[in-house]
Structure 1
Amino acid sequence: MNGVLRELVARGGGVVTRTAVQQVVPRWVLQRASGTGDLVRVLPGVFVAAHLLADRPQRVPALNRLDPVVARRAVCAWARGRAAFSHLTALDLWGLRRQADGEPLHLSTPIDSGLRGRPGARVHRRRGLTVEPPQVVVRQGQPVTRVEQTLVDSWPMLSPTEQRAPIIEAVNARLTTPERLASALRGASKLPDRAALRTLLTRLDEGCRSPLEIWGHEHVFTGPGMPAFQRQVRIIIGGRSMYLDLLAEREQVNIELDGATTHGDPRQREIDLRRDALLATVGILVVRFAHRRLMHEPDTVRRETLTILATRQPTAARRG
C-alpha cells in the first residue's frame, strides 16, 4: 500500500474516506489499494483496512464483520454529521445493553438528510430531529440520541424478558428519571406495547428499583391490610447512609427483598447482619424475604408480612 495512504488509514483508526484520500494522493492510489484487497469498501465513499474484517461468510455485511468500534467509526465517516446513533446502537453506547453480533447499526436522521439504509446500517428518519444538543449528545466520542429517546425507541425491539432491564438500570444510575421517560413516551403515541412501558414507569415513579421490587409491589405488598410502604427511603445512622427497600413508617418495619444472586454469599450475609443491627438501634425491625419465596410463595409472604405488621402497631391502635 502507498505509504501516504497507509499513514492516512492509521490516523483514521483503520477507516478512511475517498474524499480524504483524494486530497493528498491521486485517485488511482485508492483504486489500486482497493483492487489488491488492502482496503475494503464498507459504505459509499468509506473504506477500511482489510485485516480488520473478521473471517465470516461473505453474505454477512462488511459492517457486521468489523469490531463494533471500527464499524461505528465507519458509519460516522459515511453520515458526515447528518445522523446520530439511536435505538439498540445508542443503548450500547449508553452502556445499558451490549448490541448483539449481527444486529444492524441504527441511526436516526432528519427526514431530509438524504441518507438511506445500507447493509449493516439501518436509518430511521425522524421529523423534527436536529443532530445537535439537546436531542443528540456525545457518548464515547460519538453522536447518540438522548437516553430517554433511546430507551423508548428500543423498547419494541427487545424481547419481553429484556425490555425492563435497560430502563431500570438507567434510572438507578441516575442517567434519567421516570418523569423524563414518561415525557418521551408521550411523544411516541404509536409505540408497540406502550401500556406495558407506561406501567413500568409508574412502578419506578412509585420507588421500585428492581424487577423483584416490581414483582413484590404487584403481587404481595399492596392491597387490603397493607400500609402505604415508602420505597427506597434514605436513612442515616451513625454517619452511615443506607436505602430501605420498603418502610412501614408507623410500624417501623423495613422489608428487604433479597435477590437471587445474594443467596448463599457469606460476605453479603455479614453486611446485611451489620446493617440490620444498626437499624435495630433506632427501633426499626428488618424483615428479609428471599427471591425464591417471593416468586413461589407470594400468598404466604403476604400473610407473614401482615402478621408482623400487626404485632408492631401501637397498643391503642390494636385495641381499637
Structure 2
Amino acid sequence: MYIPSKPAKYGVKVQFLADSSSFYVYNTYVYTGKGSDSYSLSEEDKKKPIPAQAVLRLCKPIYNSNHNVTTDNWYSSIELSEELKNKGLTTVGTLKKNKAVIPKEFLPNKNKPINSSMFGFTKECTLVSFVPKKNKAVVLYSTMHHDNTVNSETQKPEIIEYYNSTKSGVDSVDQKCSVYSCSWRTRRWPMAVFFHIVDMSAWNSCVIHQNQTGIRKQTRLDYLKGLAEQLNENNLKTRLYNTRLPRQLREIISEIIKVPSHPIDENAQDGKLPRDQRKYCHVCPSRLKRKTVYLCHSCAKPVCLACTKKICVQCAAKDRE
C-alpha cells in the first residue's frame, strides 16, 4: 500500500482488533486485495461497504460478548452500529461530515459557541456534536450511551471522553512494535509480514505474562531480553558441546547460559580422568595438542599442569567463599 500522509509511506496493510486498556491484539488479518475484507462473512454482510466488512470480520470472534467497539471515521457508520448492536456489541465512533445521516444542525457553524454540545437521540443510538474551536465541530455516535452527560470541568460530553480514552489501542500497538522490533531491512514483503507477526506475538505474550504474574514494573525491553534468552537456551546448549565450533565462541556461550563448556565426565575421580580417556587441555593452543588427565577443580574442564598453579587448601577455601 502507498499512503503519502503516513510517516512510513509504503507498507503492508494489516487490520487488527486491539484491547483499549492492555493493548492486547485479539484478532488480525493481512489485506491481500479485493475480497480479503469479506473473507468468512455471510453473503448478506458481503454486500455492505468495505470498512464495515473489515470491522465485522475482526469482531466475529467476540459476537454477543457485550463489548464495545471504538472506531474512527473511516470505519464508522450508522448501518455498522445497527449491525453490531444486533450481534451483541456496542459502538462508539466519529463520523465524517459528509454523511447524509447527520442533521444540518450538527455540522460546523460559526455562530455556535466554543465548548458547546448538541445531542440527538434515537431508540438505539445517540448523536453528539461538540465545538472544540470556532467554526469547527466533532460529530460522534454511540450505541453505548443514552444521555446527555457533560463533564463540568472539561465541558466535554461523556461520549467524547470515552472515545478519547479508548481510541488509541491500535496506534499504541504500532508504536510498541516499532520501538522494539525484530525486523530487518528487506525487500521481500512476506518476510516483512512475518517480522510484524513476531513483533505482535511478543507483545501479546508480554501482556499475558504481566497479567498472570502480576509483575507490572518489568519493562518491555527486559521482558524481550528474557524471552530471547529462553528461546535460544536449548540451541545454545546444543552448540556449546559442538567441538567443531571455535573455542572462544563456546566460552562466550558458556558465560551466557552459565553452563560449563565441557560436560562433566562421570568417569572422573578426585579431579582426574582415567589414563586411556585423556583430553586436550582447554587452555593451551589447539596446535600443541596437549592431552591431560587433570580437570579444573572449579569448572571441571581438562587442563594440563603447565596451565595450572599450585594452591594450598586454605587459599582454595577462601576463593570459594
TM-score normalised by L of structure 2: 0.26
**If each structure's helix is expressed as a fraction of its own residues, which one has the higher value?**
1
- Which has the larger share of strand? 1
TM-score normalised to the size of structure 1?
Answer: 0.26
Larger radius of gyration: 2
